[in-house]
Structure formats: C-alpha cells, structure tokens
Amino acid sequence: MLNLADSSPVRAAQADALAEKARALNARYRHHSATAVMEGALRDAGEIALVSSFGAESVVLLHMAAIIDPATPVLFVDTELLFTETLIYQQEVSERLGLRNVQIIRADDIAEKDPYGALRFSDTDACCHLRKTVPLQKALAGFDGWITGRKRFQSGSRAALEFFEVEEIADGPTGRLKVNPLAHWAPEDVRAYMEENRLPRHPLVAQGYPSLGCAPCTSKVAEGEDPRAGRWRDQNKEECGIHIVDGKLTRKGAEDK
Ligand code: SF4
C-alpha cells in the first residue's frame, strides 16, 4: 500500500508503479469480456475485494465472482438503515451462489454518533460518511484494490471509464486499484446476463425501485424517470461518497445499483 499524498521519491515511485500497473492491465484487457477482466483482476492485481450493495444489478458481479472463485472476499456495507428485503436478498443470493467469504461491514460508532438514526435529517452527507464511507474504507485497508459495478452509461463523467483505475485517497494511508468489469455494459447487457443465467432479482425492483440504497433515502421511480431519481429524491445529492476521484470523495461515483 502506498501514500499518494506523500511526495517523497520512494512514494512517488510507488505511485508511478501503481499507475503503470493500471495502464498495463488496461492494455492487456482492452478487448476482453467483463468476466475476463474480473478473472484477471482477481488473479493478477493482488488482494482484491468485490464491494457489493446487493442492490438491483449487483447479482451480475456476484455471479461472476462465484464462478471464478467462490472464496472471493465480498464486502457488504450494512448501514443499519437498509430495506429488510435487501438483508434477506443478501443472505439468499450469497447462499444460492455459494459465496463463501461475504463480509458484512458496519460502522462501529453509530451508537455514539447517530444513536437515533436522525443524522440523515440534518446532514445526509455526514450520515453517508458515518455509515458507508468510513467503514468501507476501513474494510478496504487490507486490500490492493476493489471491484465495482460502475458503468460508462451511468453518467457523462464516466464516458471514458476504464476497466482499471488508480484510486487516490486524500486523508488515508493507501492508494489502490479500482476495477470496473462492467464499464462497457449497457442496461440491456445487464438484463440479458441476468436472464441467461436465471439470476434472482432484488424483490423491490418489481415494486418500482430500479436503484436501491437505504430505506429512508430511496423512493419509487415512475415510468420514464431516471432509474436513480428515487435516491435522495428532492435533495441536492446523488451519491453516497463511497467512490473517490482525484483524492477527494465525490458524489458522482455511484455504487452498483
Ligand atoms: S443513504 Fe440516507 S440513511 Fe443511508 S447512509 Fe446515506 S443519508 Fe444515511
């Protein structure tokens, strides 16, 4: 692990080495499938975890991981404010796919900092930071990289999304790889993969929730609306801040749906 904020020659060399590793992996896998990228990441990129919300589209990467290596570490952040359906789906999917290393991540200071679950009413960014970002970053500290479900079609800022990126962390001790095996996938690719492999859908998708997060911050989406319109509806907030760009937490990097 390396500190990209440290400007010493050794650290700079390590940062260059990590960037070169990402470039080499992108060159090697440029014309490969999502499954090949996933397999390559797990085999060639060091200690890699799949971060999954067990949301609307998560089952695709979970299925790939289960086929490649059922012992792949899967990190699931339980904010303690998720839908009950998500918690049940997480257990059912993990069991059905035979995933053997699902790690449930929770913040250890919720009782102290948000004992009544009211922080979200005054500051959703602080709530996401407490319940999602901090515990995930702690959990990722032992890994060289992580796999996400981000895709190019999800926003203009991801139009050039690569399979392998370098994640810099402003106030943390590490830089690590971020792997996006589905970068090139369109919505119909996701649907087709689920149908061809007869994968179970999150039960709330059929009830009007094409994108799922915490229960208090997720509402139904009407026909024709953006799939993510139900996340933090009526608030100037788009993301939970789990993704980090240029060393800063950003709202633009969505977790998998
Ligand atoms: S999505 Fe809402 S409830 Fe969940 S952590 Fe963020 S602000 Fe809190």
Q: Tell me, what CATH number does 196's domain have?
A: 3.40.50.620
Confidence band, pLDDT 50/70/90 cuts, at residue 185: very high
Q: Which of 178, 207, 208, 182 is nearest to 194 (CA)?
A: 182
Contact 188, 176 (CB under 8 A): no
The whole-number pLDDT of residue 3 equals: 54
User: What's the rounded Cα separation, in Å, for the pair 51 and 38?
Assistant: 13
The whole-number pLDDT of residue 156 equals: 58
**pLDDT, tens digit, 9 for 90 and up, residues 29-42:** 999 999 999 999 99
User: What's the rounded Cα separation, in Å, for the pair 103 and 133?
Assistant: 16
Ligand 1 midpoint to CA 21 (Å): 34
User: What's the rounded Cα separation, in Å, for the pair 168 and 5?
Assistant: 8
Can you say whether the dihedral through the CA atoms of 51, 242, 189, 36 is positive or negative? negative
The whole-number pLDDT of residue 242 equals: 55
Whether residue 216 has its Cβ less than 6 Å from ligand 1: yes
Residue 177 lies in a domain: yes
Residue nearest to atom 3 of ligand 1 (CA): 214
Whether residue 132 has its Cβ less than 6 Å from ligand 1: yes
Residue 244 lies in a domain: yes
**pLDDT, tens digit, 9 for 90 and up, residues 7-57:** 667 677 777 888 899 999 999 999 999 999 999 999 988 999 999 999 999
Whether residue 124 has its Cβ less than 6 Å from ligand 1: yes
User: What's the rounded Cα separation, in Å, for the pair 168 and 175?
Assistant: 5
Domain membership of residue 56 as a residue range:
9-201+239-249
Residue 233 lies in a domain: no
What value does the mean pLDDT take over residues 131-154? 91
Instruction: Please indicate whether residue 244 or residue 171 has the higher confidence score (pLDDT).
Output: 171
The structure tokens listed for 254 are 């969505």
Q: Please confirm, yes or no, whether 214 is among the known catalytic residues.
A: no
Q: Exposed/middle/buried for 66, CB within 10 Å: 0-12, 13-18, 19+?
A: buried
Whether residue 128 has its Cβ less than 6 Å from ligand 1: yes
Confidence band, pLDDT 50/70/90 cuts, at residue 231: confident
- Please report the atom of ligand 1 found closest to the CA of residue 213: 1
Q: Residue 223: which residues within 8 A CB-CB, separation 6 or more? A: none
The structure tokens listed for 208 are 């009007």
User: What's the rounded Cα separation, in Å, for the pair 92 and 101?
Assistant: 14
Ligand 1 midpoint to CA 120 (Å): 6
Task: Point out the catalytic residue in the list 127, 214, 217, 240.
Answer: 240
The structure tokens listed for 98 are 């035979």
Residue 2 lies in a domain: no
Residue 42 lies in a domain: yes
**pLDDT, tens digit, 9 for 90 and up, residues 95-121:** 999 999 999 999 999 999 999 999 999
What value does the mean pLDDT take over residues 237-251? 50
Whether 232 shows a pLDDT value over 60: the answer reads yes
Residue 189 lies in a domain: yes
* pTM for the full predicted model: 0.87
Residue 254 lies in a domain: no
Q: For the chain, how many structural domains are there in total? A: 1
What value does the mean pLDDT take over residues 229-246? 62
- The DSSP symbol for 77 reads E
Residue 161 lies in a domain: yes
Ligand 1 midpoint to CA 68 (Å): 32
The structure tokens listed for 43 are 């085999």
